Structure 1
């Protein structure tokens, strides 16, 4: 502390008399910036949902065990928001209470039925959505309609500009994986077996809708191929040997579990690349776009260009070559009017 005081007394300092604003100016600008940043985030998230919808609907043959009937909306229960998020939400959408529709996905049943942004859901198939525990009641009211084999329509009563409007929506079957835009500048994407996560950094890195769809399709493939469950199973299998070793007084520090968890890691990435290309093809995307995208990814991560045997991913050079071969395989199927499904062992 004495050193800092001494440096403060003898160090070089600014020589101008800086104009200082009123404290309220800073607070007002902070709020403006937060709201504008939230608007950009919500616009990007809406765009991502529109792109993911194309893959979710066209990719149903690739996710036979992960189907759900969907209507194509993004909603928010304002009662569950904390004070900060509620302020942001009202700053973007205005003061709304209840289950508020924040986005209607382009080309979805909800869009065709006439659902609009800022509609507030007041009842679902005759079930009133209460002010308290709205999310719980709302989600429960959708369960039967969302089942893959269901034939039910979704009858909504929505509040719109002080009027009540009734809408009849017929859900369609889609892959069940939601897509979440993460407020993170890292160049990354991930899957957890149920959902797909795309960072804001990855969103900005992609130069086209097709490149964003490439990222989504790869993570969808991780989910539909069960890679997360398989990795967990491999980890647990390896952990058995850690337990056995512990019984003999040997502390392996989880070595066998970690080794088990990394088994087939590179092969899982290869498979996600391969199956992801079929998700794109089924959605009508020219899979040749992937080549340029992966080359740019390699430039951003030059350490991945050379093969590393202890890496969880194949080299970017190998992945590019594999994707090129997959593109050629898909092109042959398109020419011969073959079924656009991955080849299985």
Structure 2
């Protein structure tokens, strides 16, 4: 029996194979490249991607800085002193990217200045490419440089920074500025979103692209910052804990409660928290000197992209774009009235 099956199978297989080889194939044959050319192109694209990501991160931090520096009264428990610089060293990058990165920055294990935020204390004193050698005459250890710098800035006093610039050793005196210590992080997600966890402010790459104007980007940063300053994360946790306690009481009395009360507690007042963060964020924006005129249109643009949000807020935990736009429009009118009166 097996012999007969094999005898039938082999001709069928051969005929099928011949049929496949007779199928249409691409007429234009792509070029073949050797490993050297492929590696060179890979490095080229890696550098381009790095520079784009840096520009996006810089834009995010530039938009956030005025909010963090102008609203320190709102973050008394979360403050630090800053120079307004981004630093990097070769060990910060994946091994596969290091050769390309080194060619771009002449980077090694020492801390080097990558970017300087506009109007920061470092602007006009430090330059991109400067290599940090010492802080207050204490040599910087490459693997401990960031912690050394943070320790030197802790009390807000001016520091003497020894740097190497184009082969010349310089000593620069800089007075740091007080900021809210909420790290602003760029997420690679393409979703249009921002969120806060009580300590950090996270903005997605999708939101960064959607918010074409810097004051729109700052609007969302301010909203998330307000969640932190108002301790909304802590309040939600307390509500969730209260719900969990209720679940425990129900279960102990023989009433099934599969974390229902916990879920209700976690989302209790969530829409109210979002509206409060919108309003508080608007005040943070105004304190930072941003033009708040017309920012209510941000939510109308959002509605154009996500029509569902016109009648249903995101995950039912957020207000609709209709309510957010109208609330923001009214709040902007109220905040602009004192400005109008003062110019008369």
Which TM-score band (shorter chain)? Answer: 0.7 to 0.9
Between the aligned partners of 1:86 and 1:244, the Cα distance in structure 2 is 57
> Which residue matches 1:342?
none
Q: The residue matched to 1:289 in structure 2 has which SS? A: coil
Give the aligned partner of residue 64 of structure 1: 76
* Distance verdict in 2 for CA 1:291–1:22, change over 3 Å: same
Shift of 1:237: 2.0
CA 1:273/1:92 → structure 2, altered by over 3 Å: closer, same or farther?
Answer: farther
How big is the shift at 1:60? 2.5
Shift of 1:327: 0.1
- Sort the Cα spacing of 1:6 and 1:119 in 2 relative to 1 into closer, same or farther, 3 A: farther
1:325 aligns with 2:330: yes
Please list, as runs of the form range in 1=range in 2, the aligned pairs for 1:194-205 lying within 5 A after superposition. 194-205=199-210
CA contact (8 A) 1:98 1:134 kept: no
For the pair 1:260 / 2:265, whether they are aligned, the reply is yes
Equivalent position of 1:52 in the other structure = 64
Deviation at 1:336, TM superposition (A): 5.1
The answer as to whether partners of 2:196 and 2:227 remain within 8 angstroms in 1 is: yes
CA distance in 1, matches of 2:275, 2:185: 23
Establish whether residue 306 from structure 1 lines up as the match of residue 311 from structure 2. Answer: yes
Contact 2:89 2:107 in 1 (8 A): no
1:20 aligns with 2:31: yes
CA shift at 1:241, angstroms? 2.4
**Post-superposition shift, 1:299?**
1.0
Residue 123 of structure 1 is matched in structure 2 by 134
User: Which of these two proteins has the greater Rg computed from alpha carbons?
Assistant: 2
CA deviation after TM superposition for structure 1 residue 124, in Å: 1.6
Cα distance, 1:12 vs structure 2: 5.4
Deviation at 1:106, TM superposition (A): 0.8
Distance between the aligned counterparts of 2:30 and 2:270, measured in 1?
57
Q: Deviations over 1:62-95 (max 9, x none)?
A: 3333322221111124334431353453354233
The total of aligned residue pairs comes to 328
Larger mean CA deviation between 220-229 and 312-321 belongs to 220-229
The match for 1:244 is: 249
Q: Alpha carbons of 1:195 and 1:92: their partners in 2 closer, same or farther (altered >3 Å)?
A: farther
1:145 aligns with 2:142: no
Residue matched to 2:20: 9
Gaps spanning 5+ residues in structure 2: where? 1-11
Preserved contact between residue 78 and residue 100 of structure 1 (Cα < 8 Å): no
Matched residue, 2:289: 284
Aligned mates of 1:100, 1:254 — CA distance in 2? 50
The question of whether the paired residues in 1 share the 8 Å contact of 2:314 and 2:320 is answered with no
**Residue 185 of structure 1: how far off its partner (Å):** 1.7
Give, in whole Å, the separation in 2 of the partners of 1:308 and 1:81.
Answer: 39
Q: Distance in 2 between matches of 1:321 and 1:40?
A: 35
Compute the displacement of 1:140 (Å). 4.3
Contact kept, 8 Å, 1:99 with 1:134, in 2: the verdict is no
CA displacement, residues 30-63 of structure 1 (integer Å, 9 cap, x when unaligned):
2211210110110121122222112212222333
Instruction: Name which of structure 1's ranges 213-222 and 236-245 shifts more when overlaid on structure 2.
Output: 236-245
Aligned counterpart, 1:343: none
- SS of 2:190's equivalent in the other structure is coil
Shift of 1:273: 0.6
Change (3 A) 1:309 1:192: closer
Cα distance in structure 1, aligned partners of 2:256 and 2:288: 50
Match for residue 182 of structure 2? 177
TM-score by structure 2 length? 0.86
TM-score by length of 1: 0.85
Render the CA deviation track for 1:226-256: whole Å, top value 9, x for unaligned: 1112222222221222333444566633222
Deviation at 1:190, TM superposition (A): 1.6
Match of 1:340 in 2: none
> Structure 1 residues 241 and 335 mapped into 2: Cα distance closer, same or farther (>3 Å)?
same
Tell which deviates more after alignment, 189-198 or 248-257. 248-257
Q: Secondary structure at the match of 1:40?
A: helix
CA-based RMSD of the aligned residues comes to 2.7
